[in-house]
Amino acid sequence: MLEPTFLTETQFLNQGDLISEIEAGLLTSSASISPKFLYDNLGSHLFTAITLLPEYYPTKTENLIFKKNSFEISEALGLDKGLIDLGAGNCLKAESLFSSLKPSFYTAIDFSLDYLKEILPPLQNKYPHIPMFGIGMDFSRNLKLPAEISTLRNNIFYPGSSIGNFNIDDAEYLLKQVHFELNGGGLLIGVDLMKGDKILLNAYDDPLKLTAAFNLNILRVVNSLIHSNFNVADFNHHIKVNHSLQRVELYLEVLRDITVNWGDKTRKFKRGELIHTENSHKYTPESIKNLLVSSGFKSFTTWTDPNNYFLLIYAI
């Protein structure tokens, strides 16, 4: 059986740094947990389920753009380059490009290496002619590709509007690193556009409560990393649409006064207090191009859907 090559967590994920980051977020006056901790193995499966919901428009809309413009996308990206997938998840979006792009190799990068170890082997056997690599990496802090990949001509793929999880400064920092790693290729990135409250609220607080489970699961991840005693039953999924900052904000709302302990540290939470877990910034075509220009990109090819819900950009 053909197997992909996996690069171990210790090369790219420093456990001590992750613990320090969680503790710093919990001990601030307005507690927060980075959204990357949403994506352990269970969280990744929950997010895959979310993308199947009728209310969750980003994945369906982006897939529609891929299908409608597959020839133009392959013409823009070119053939036989490496395809590097940031936040690869279940790898289905990248797989949809294999037949048209004919990548020379495929590298899936995700925060959860355990999830990649489940997803990549059957994909490798389905496409034995494409060498595959799996990397567990926190690229929100530092994107540094291993030498055997970075020296090749690559297209970097960042779909699903995940760039919206970053504030502008952090997004620019990441995109500058992406630009540095391209080595003659380009960036294919998906961006969510601002839209009405009803659509956003249904997408981020679905009736089946899958998004709620996805958000609450972050407490289990935190417990496993810092050995805290968060009880999921003490929290409720809560979202806000922030028009002034053009984003959807995800929180965990405390349902009763509680005390959370880990090691020699303690944090008291009052009923109604919020722990911030994620932002999903929305862009306009102009604002995302301005961000890409400030990150070093100079040329753009764009595609969108008939409702202008979503934008796909190839930037070089």
Tokens of 221: 């991840």
Q: CB under 8 Å to 159, separation ≥6 — which residues? A: 62, 93, 188, 189, 190, 312
Q: Distance (Å, rounded) from C-alpha 284 to C-alpha 253?
A: 30
pLDDT tens across 117-166, in order? Answer: 999 999 999 999 999 999 999 998 889 888 878 777 899 999 999 999 99
Instruction: Enter the pTM of the model.
Output: 0.92
Phi and psi at residue 186, to the nearest 5°: -150, 180
Of residues 262, 46, 295, the one with CA closest to residue 189: 295
DSSP-derived 3-state class of residue 208: coil
pLDDT tens across 69-82, in order? Answer: 999 999 999 998 99
- Domains by residue range for the chain, with CATH: 5-195+283-315 (3.40.50.150), 216-281 (no CATH)
Give DSSP secondary structure letters for 61-93.
Answer: HHHHHHHHTHHHHHHHH-SS-EEEEET-TT-HH
Tokens of 218: 């972050």
Query: So what's the pLDDT on residue 59?
Result: 95
